[in-house]
Amino acid sequence: MVVLLLGAAVPPKISNISSDITVNEGSNVTLICMANGRPEPVITWRHLTPTAREFEGDEEFLEILGITREQSGKYECKAANEVSTADVKQVRVTVNYPPTITESKSNESATGRQASLKCAASAVPTPDFEWYRDDTRINNANGLEIRSTGSQSFLTVANVTEEHYGNYTCVATNKLGITNASLFLYKKILPTLPNPFSGQYMLYVTVAF
Q: Are 33 and 62 in contact (CB under 8 A)?
A: yes
**Full domain range(s) for residue 157:** 106-187
167 and 139 in a single domain? The answer is yes
In a domain, 1, yes or no: no
92 and 53 in a single domain? The answer is yes
User: Is the predicted pLDDT of residue 107 greater than 60, yes or no?
Assistant: yes
In a domain, 192, yes or no: no
Which amino acid is it at 15? Answer: S
State the maximum Cα–Cα separation within the chain, in Å, rounded to a whole number.
147
Distance of alpha carbon 16 from alpha carbon 28, whole angstroms: 20
pLDDT in tens, 42-92: 999 999 987 666 665 557 999 999 999 999 999 999 999 988 899 999 999
Residue 45 neighbours by CB under 8 Å, 6+ apart: 31, 33, 54, 55, 59, 62, 75, 76, 77, 78
Among the ranges given (5-14, 17-26, 120-129, 142-151), the one the predictor scored with the smallest mean pLDDT: 5-14
167 and 120 in a single domain? The answer is yes
17 and 91 in a single domain? The answer is yes
The CATH number linked to 147 is 2.60.40.10
Distance of alpha carbon 181 from alpha carbon 165, whole angstroms: 17
pLDDT in tens, 160-200: 999 999 999 999 999 999 999 999 999 987 666 565 555 44
Distance of alpha carbon 135 from alpha carbon 162, whole angstroms: 19
Domains in the chain, number: 2
In a domain, 193, yes or no: no
